[in-house]
Each structure stands twice: as C-alpha cells, then as structure tokens.
Amino acid sequence: MKVQPQNTIVIQGGHVFDPQHSLDAVMDIFIENDTVVALGTPPQGFIANETINARGKMVFPGFIDLNAFLGEPGFSQKGTIASETRAAAQSGITILCSTPDSKPVIDSATLAALVQDKAQQAGYCRVQPIGALTAGLQGEQLSNMFALKDAGCVALSNQDASFQDSRVIQQCYHYAAGFDICVFSTPLDTALAHEGCMHEGPTSTHLGLAGNPVSAEISSMAQQLILCEETGTKLHFSRITSKQALDMVISAQQKGLAVTADVALGNLYFNDEDCADYNSLMHVTPVYRSQQDRQALLQGVNDGYLSICSNHRPHELAAKMAPFAATDAGISVLDSFAAAIFNLVDTGKLTLAAAIGALTALPAKAIDQPAGQIIPEGRADLCIADMKQACELSTEDLASKGHNNPWLGESLVGKVTCTINGGHIVYRA
Amino acid sequence: MSLPQPAALLDKMTRDLQNLTAQEQNEVVMIGIHTGGAWVAQQLHQSLKLDNDLGSLDISFYRDDFTQKGLHPQIKSSTLGDIEGKTVILVDDVIMSGRTIRAAMNELFDYGRPAKIILACLLDTGRRELPIQADVVGERVTLADDQRIKLSGPEPLALSMATIAKQGSPA
Amino acid sequence: MSLITPSHIQLNEEGRLKHFLTTEGLSQPLLTEILDTADSFISTQERNVKTVPLLRGKTVVNLFFENSTRTRSTFELAAKRLSANILNLDIARSATSKGETLMDTLWNLESMYSDMFVVRHADSGAAHFIAQHITPNVAVINAGDGRHAHPTQAMLDMLTIRREKGPFENLTVAIVGDILHSRVARSQIYALKTLGSTDIRVIGPNTLIPKDIESLGVRAYNNMAQGLKGVDVVIMLRLQKERMQAALLPSEAEYYRLFGLSTDKLALANPGAIVMHPGPINRGVEIESAVADGPQSVILKQVSNGIPMRMAVMAMAMGGQNQTRQEEG
C-alpha cells in the first residue's frame, strides 16, 4: 500500500521556465514532500494539500547564490544565518554558498557542519558552505581540504585574503585536484592592487583615492590559469570585474580547461563613475570597474559564460559611516537580488534565458550539484515570480541585518512572490 | 514726481561744503562710499579742488544685515589715506535708514581716529531708522513706501525711480 | 542614482557658497568673486585695526586630524580677524587616536554649537563626509583632505597669480613634482581651468603623475626643459622624503637633477615667469635656494595672501549659511 505523502503541493498555471531542460511553457507542477513528482499531468491519485495559483507568473528553478557573507559565526552585528538566509529566500534562493571568512574562519569540519545545521534550523534555504583553502585564511598553510569537503563544503577558497607566495597557490591547487575539490578564486595581485579602494582610472585620480588597476586582477588570473592547467584543478573564478578577465576565461574554456566564472550583481549595475560622490555604498570588494567592463560583463552573462552571484556583505551602520576609504567594503544584496536581476531583464540588459541560466544551471555546474533544475524526481526547489510587478524597498522591508543596500528606494520591475525549498514554502509575498 | 538734476545738486553741495569748511583748521580729506557715493565724491572732489587724494570706502564687511543676507556679491576695495586727526568729508548718494552711514563710520574708525566727520549726501529720502543726519544735502525728497531712488554713473550721473517688491529694503 | 558630489553640496539654493570643499565645479564668476573678496580683505590687513566685525559672535572650530601648525595658525588668525571665536581641536592627539570614530567625534562636537568647522583630514572625501553629516547651518571649510583637494591654498595661489601676472586666459602654468599625492595640484588645476588658463602642464617622473591626469585637462611632461618652455608661472610642489622609500623615486640627487628648479632651469621659462611654492620648501631638493629667494619668487607673497583668502572664504561660506537659515525661517 502506498504511504500517503505528508506534504503535497500543486503549483497551478504558472509559466515554467528552465532553459537547461527546454522547459518554457505553462504547466502545472506536482510536489510530494521534497520532490517534484510530475510536470503537466498529475500522477495517479495525487491529492494536493496546498494549491498555489501561479497564473500570470513565471516558475523558475530555485536560485543558487555562489557567494554570500552571512555574518555568523562572529559578526552578529552585521548578520546572522537566520536573518540572511531569510533575505535570500525572499529572492528565490534555495542554495546559498556562504563565504569562509567568518570568525572563526570555516577551516574545520565542525564549523562547516555548524553553518549547515544552523541554516537547516532556520529553514529558509540550504547553505552549502565554501570552506577555507588555507588554514585560517592566512594564505600560508593548506587547510584540511578533504575533511571540509567531506563535511559538506562544495568548494574551497581564500575569499579576499592573499597568499604568502605563488608556491602556496600551486600547492593548494595540486592538493585539491587530487581529491576533486573545486577551488573558488578571486584573482588579485595585492602588491599591484596597492590598497586601492576603487578602480584605478580617471575617477580615482579626480577623487584622490588609491586605485586598484585591472592589471592586478588579470596578472594574478594569468598565473592561476597556468597553475590550473599544470595541476588539473577544477577552478572557478569568483566575482570577476573586467572585460580582460572575461576574455581570459573564455580562452581558457576554449582551450579545454575546467574553468568557470561568475560576476557579482553589483558589477552589472555600477561602475567606477558611481563613486564620484564618495558614496560609501560604492565601496566594495572586488571593485566596480569601467563602463566598458560593465557592458562586457553583461554580454558575458548573455552569452552564457558567467553565473551571477550576490557578493552579499551586510554591515552595521557605523561601518559605512566614514570617509570612503575608511569604510568597510561591501553591500547588502540579498533582499534585492532577484528584483535587481529581473529589472535588468525588464530593461533589456539581459535576456531572460541568460539571467535564469546564470542563476541556476551555471552555478550548479560550478559547484557540481544536481540543482537549479525542474525535473521529475528532482528536488522541489522552486521560485515563483511576477515579472511585471514593480516594487520599491525601504529600510523597514529588509530581512537582512545590513541596511547598506544600494537599491533602497529604487523601483525595480520583477519580484519573487513565493519560494519553495525542498517542498516547504519558505516565503510567500 | 520729477527728479532733480544731479548737476544742480552738486553745485549746491559744493557751495554748502565750502561754507562749512571755510574755518576748518584740520586737514580735509574726502571719502566716498561705494558705489554711488564714490561717483558723487569724484565730482565734489574736483569742484572743491581738494589737495588730498580722494578716498573710497566699501562697507560690505560692516553691514548689519550679514546674518540675514550673507555677503554682498560685488565687493570693491577700500582705499584710504591717513585719516588720523583729519576732518573727513564722508560722501554718499542717498541717505535713507542711516545704516550705511553707521557702517561707514564704524569702518572709518578701524582705519584711524578722525578729528571730525562731515556727512554730505546728494539726496535725503527721510525714513530714518537710526539717529543719523547729513550736514550737507543736495535735496530732500519724499518717496512712497514702494519707491526707491537710484543713481547711475559715473558719467553721466543720472537719477531714476524704481518700484520695489513688498519685502526687502536696501539700506 | 543621482550623485551628491562635493561641488554640489557646497552651494546653497542661490548658488552662493555655504561650504568650501573643492575648487572643482565652481563657476568662473564665483571663483572671480572669491578672488575679489580676498583682494578687499588685503586692504583691511594693511591698516591699523586689522579686524572686521563680520563673524562677531560666531564660533569657528579648527578640526585638524592631521598635524599642521602653519595652516592651522593662518585659519586661526583669519577667524580672529573676522572677529570670530576660535577653538583649536588637534584630534590627532586626542580622542580619535583612542579609536573614536569620526562620526562620534562629530556628534560630540554638536553640543558645542559651533558655526563653522575648518577641517584637515588624511582621508579623501572627509570634508564632504563631514559637511553631509553635521547639523545643518554649520559651514565646513576644507583645509585639505587626503589627496583630493586643498581649495584655500589653490585660491590663494590664484590670487597671487592674478596680482602678479594678470588675467588667466593667456597664461601658461606648470606644476612640477609629486602630482600623484598632491591635493594642492588637483585644486589648482580645476581653478586654473575654470579661470581660463588653456595651457596647464604637469611635470615629473611617470611614477609621480597619476595615470589618467590628462582627463583633468592638463598635459604631462617627463622632460622639464620641454615642459617649462613658454611657461609664465612655475608652481613647485614639495617632495616628501618618504617617496624615496616607496619604489617611486631612486634618490634626491636624481630628482633634483631632473626636476629641481635651479637658476638654469628657470631660465628656460618665459622671462618674468614667477616662481611659486605652497610651502614648506625643501631647499636643494625641489628648489635651489637662489631661486626661492630670488627676484622671480613670489613665495612670500603667497604666504601673506593666505590670511585674506581664508577670511574671504570663511566670510562667504558663513554668509551663504546665513542666507539659507533665513530662508528656512
């Protein structure tokens, strides 16, 4: 006798869109417990406990965010796993990759497990942590890479910390490759970056701010590509900023290297000229570069080369209330993540297929997970969105503890109205 | 009302000043208040054939309405010779509330201590707000509340009447 | 998103100065008015009583987060000559060195009911930040922020140039030295451009010239002989000794040989060219003593123009704040 499932949902009349699986039509979706059991026609004897009316709306696979700082453990005034994953869920995110630079750093299995457990308790989205590539993120000694992978880390990175020297990078890649561990890298030659808090260009000259040149990113990327080829590592460049970096990723892929890349949402919206009034909301790591770089990165997403990550970094008010260079770098993104990307589609900067691909199939590939898809027998991670609804967020609407959100007060077209994580409705507008 | 001719007024002022200073023991020095007073002073300085160089005073830094109006956009330089122990003939084009003259006297005393100040004005329109009077006046005129009289120059000097909006009164 | 740059927030609704943060973005008439006002204050400095009553009853606070006895004392004197009360806060030595944030320092100062802050800070954009976050109706005068701007110095330099050489339209000006780290140079360049100079040059080694300097409307020269040809005004910048350690310059000797203003090099400029320096000068490092003390040098005139210029901008900014406060009732 078939055991009646405890939780059954039907999503009715939504326009289901998963370009990876050639899904682009209005159809119903049937969910039992944590699985999508059917698309289009209900299975025999299916009875829905819950019906979601999705007429006039789009249904996408749940989004995957490859880089978000949650604040916990260690920085509770900036954010907690509960608050930040709640913000993520409101943007349709069902898998979130947390950064290793908490306090303490995620360089042990216990801490990796802690983060996942807390996320599960909060229940808003799954957190698949990125562990530290070096012990303490000091850039000197290998971390317990295998243990971290075993404890659930989908990738390892040194986040924004530097390495002692290139040999350490090489050894890390070599070791990781041996265990099929994915390495996330944000390439930057710290000496060439010269403590630049923004892109080196006419704006930095005019503002009198120390500038970080493109050469700092691409010279490091060039070195890491060579090491990647030499060691056979699965390498993902996290948050690239320049046209030249994108071109190098494309050449590497054409050469057959297992290299992927993503761009932070902010770099698709802003460029160095937006710093012209010393607005501390434009102080970010990695930096916003020129208009041309921004256009190239948008094209890179449209051509299917780049995932989009949030690069979410919430801060308390005081951390952003100081002259530009003295503020903490970072913006709070998760509350506006989906709306801002939908807005880029609405204004014609991105195609819908490219945008959704950049949030689902591409990031899933980068972390080698069966996710970001709507398939029968697949996990019920979905989001429903009203692509026509315009919405403007104010401080009171934010779920994230960080109010350093540059889209506050901006009218964005497109909004997630419902998010389902493993068959649970974790957000409903 | 018909406005007087400056030339006639200047003649009268010259005669009056000659009379006033006839017995003057101290050295006489003439100082005109920018901008209109300086133009008038230029004419008087010539007609009186004064020895000492003509001085000019810009009162922008001594006005009493800085708190309300801020700093005047067109400030000219003040150029004075030594006034210590001298008789100063202070010249302005129009005296109305008396505030300009108060400011001018405050400023003069920051340059030195004159023995005497004689005030000569082309026109006196009444409407004093301070107890200050001119010793030599070209002509007294009465204006309606919303009327103002203006001197243009330096060559030729001419008087004109203007109607002002409700608020704001130039000193 | 619209930008609220330092150029924007320093003007009130009537287009009058209510802060003085940067020379950039100010119109030619306004810059000329600043020069004219300063000229008027020069005559007050030559008489017996050097004060005017403009700022009587007002409190001016010198907020210096970077040490500078010279600049601070000229502002102090300027405030006193405007009849203001002046308070000197050397923050470098007080609370912020104990870790108090800039915001907390500002909030503590609010209770003192000051009318004007004169601010010098090591971070570019600091004066702009302070102007945005203090109580309204307090004027902020930028006495130098990081590498961004030093507008009062630039304007006293403009005043000196105008008094010595006349109108800016036909003047060729060269700024020599460490442009990269110089807030004075940036402020001078914006002022010169707006006032009408069409040939502005920067001279120095590549390592001391910012990468996109041409975007400011100047031409860069590595060769001083070429750079000085046809020049009417030579502005020498101070070279800090630390630059020798930071992989920017090989040695003082090589720097002096290539970019030091010696009598020979000065002869390459136009006859009657004036020599300027914002001070303090490093004799024998960027400038030969004979030139610094010579007939073409107007360095001391710059110093004496400093007080009238600071009086002018303080009076204008306070005036602009007064206007705004009146309008707001």
Residues forming beta bridges with residue A18, ordered by sequence position: A23
pLDDT in tens, C289-323: 999 999 999 999 999 999 999 999 999 999 999 88
Rounded to the nearest 5°, which phi and psi values hold at B20? -60, -40
Interface test with A, best of C129, C193, C206 (most A CBs within 10 A): C129
Q: Tell me how far apart the 2 most distant CA atoms of chain B are, in Å.
A: 47
Q: How many other C-beta atoms lie within 10 A of the C-beta of residue B122? A: 30
CB spacing of C125 vs A410 below 8 angstroms: no
In chain A, whose CA is at the least distance from the CA of C4? A277
Cα radius of gyration (chain B) = 16
The gap between the terminal CA atoms of chain A, to the nearest Å, is 38
What local confidence, expressed as pLDDT, does residue C108 receive?
Answer: 84
pLDDT in tens, C31-49: 999 999 999 999 888 888 8
Three-class secondary structure assignment of A123-138: CCCEECCEEECEHHHC
The region of weakest confidence among A55-69, C23-37, C46-60, C293-307 is C46-60
Residue A409 near residue A391 (C-beta atoms within 8 A): no
Interface test with C, best of A197, A203, A277 (most C CBs within 10 A): A277
Residue A22 predicted with pLDDT over 80: yes
| Touch of A by C (3+ CB pairs closer than 8 Å) | yes
Identify all chain B residues contacting C41, using CB atoms and an 8 Å cutoff. Answer: 61
pLDDT band at C97 (very low <50, low <70, confident <90, very high): low
- From the list C24, C129, C215, the residue facing A278 with the nearest CB is C129
What local confidence, expressed as pLDDT, does residue C1 receive?
Answer: 52
CA angle B140, B146, B152 (to 5 degrees): 60
pLDDT in tens, C129-175: 999 998 888 999 999 999 999 999 999 999 999 999 999 999 999 99
Please report whether residue B115 resides in a domain. Answer: yes
- From the list C41, C42, C323, the residue facing B70 with the nearest CB is C323
What local confidence, expressed as pLDDT, does residue A2 receive?
Answer: 61
Q: Which fold has domain C6-149+304-328?
A: Rossmann fold (3.40.50)
Average of per-residue pLDDT across A335-341: 98
What local confidence, expressed as pLDDT, does residue C99 receive?
Answer: 67
pLDDT band at C83 (very low <50, low <70, confident <90, very high): very high
What local confidence, expressed as pLDDT, does residue B167 receive?
Answer: 55
Distance from CA of C89 to the nearest CA of A (A): 19
Please report whether residue B1 resides in a domain. Answer: no
Which CATH number covers residue B93?
Answer: 3.40.50.2020
* Token digits of residue A332: 């709070």
- From the list C40, C41, C316, the residue facing B76 with the nearest CB is C40
Average of per-residue pLDDT across A185-210: 95
CB spacing of C121 vs A323 below 8 angstroms: yes
Q: Span A8-59+378-392+416-428: which CATH code?
A: 2.30.40.10
CB spacing of B111 vs C47 below 8 angstroms: yes
Q: Is A326 on the interface with C (CB under 8 A)?
A: yes
Q: Which fold has domain A61-366?
A: TIM Barrel (3.20.20)
- From the list B67, B75, B107, the residue facing C37 with the nearest CB is B75
Average of per-residue pLDDT across A286-296: 98
* Token digits of residue C97: 């060195």
| Touch of B by C (3+ CB pairs closer than 8 Å) | yes
Residue in A214, A236, A215 with CA at minimum distance from that of residue A157: A236
Predicted model pTM: 0.90
A158-197 burial string, b = 16+ CB within 10 Å, else e?
A: bbbbbbeeeebbbbbbebbbeeebbbbbbbbbeebbeebb
CB spacing of A321 vs C101 below 8 angstroms: yes
What local confidence, expressed as pLDDT, does residue B164 receive?
Answer: 84
Residue C93 predicted with pLDDT over 80: no
CB spacing of A201 vs C1 below 8 angstroms: no
pLDDT band at C73 (very low <50, low <70, confident <90, very high): very high
Residue C79 identity? A
Q: How many other C-beta atoms lie within 10 A of the C-beta of residue B21? A: 16
CA distance A178 to A265: 32
pLDDT in tens, A93-136: 999 999 999 999 999 999 999 999 999 999 999 999 999 999 99
Is residue B38 within a helix (H) or strand (E), and if so which, with residue range? helix B36-47
pLDDT band at C247 (very low <50, low <70, confident <90, very high): confident
**How many B×C Cβ pairs under 8 Å?**
70
Q: Is C123 on the interface with A (CB under 8 A)?
A: yes
Which residues in chain B show pLDDT less than 50? 169, 171
Residue C250 predicted with pLDDT over 50: yes
Across chain C, mean pLDDT equals: 92
Residue B136 lies in domain: 6-19+26-66+76-163
Please report whether residue B44 resides in a domain. Answer: yes
**Chain region(s) in chain C for CATH 3.40.50.1370:** 6-149+304-328, 151-299
pLDDT in tens, A146-170: 999 999 999 999 999 999 999 999 9
What local confidence, expressed as pLDDT, does residue A61 receive?
Answer: 98
In chain B, whose CA is at the least distance from the CA of C41? B77
Is residue A360 within a helix (H) or strand (E), and if so which, with residue range? none
**Chain region(s) in chain A for CATH 2.30.40.10:** 8-59+378-392+416-428
- The three-class DSSP label of residue A108 is coil
Residue A241 near residue A215 (C-beta atoms within 8 A): no
CB spacing of B80 vs C47 below 8 angstroms: yes
pLDDT in tens, B92-104: 999 999 999 999 9
Average of per-residue pLDDT across C276-284: 93
A93-111 burial string, b = 16+ CB within 10 Å, else e?
A: bbbbbbbbbbeebbbbbeb
Q: Span C151-299: which CATH code?
A: 3.40.50.1370
Quote ipTM for the complex: 0.90
pLDDT band at A1 (very low <50, low <70, confident <90, very high): low
What local confidence, expressed as pLDDT, does residue B171 receive?
Answer: 46
Across chain A, mean pLDDT equals: 96
CA distance A388 to A429: 15
DSSP letters, C291-311, are HHTSTTB-HHHHHHHHHHHHH
**Chain region(s) in chain A for CATH 3.20.20.140:** 61-366
Identify all chain B residues contacting C49, using CB atoms and an 8 Å cutoff. Answer: 109-111
Q: Is A206 on the interface with C (CB under 8 A)?
A: yes
Identify all chain C residues contacting A274, using CB atoms and an 8 Å cutoff. Answer: 1, 3
Residue A417 identity? T
Domain count, chain B: 1
Please report whether residue B168 resides in a domain. Answer: no
In the numeric block, the tokens 């077209």 are attached to: A413
Handedness of CA A9, A13, A18, A22 (dihedral sign): positive
Residue A263 predicted with pLDDT over 50: yes
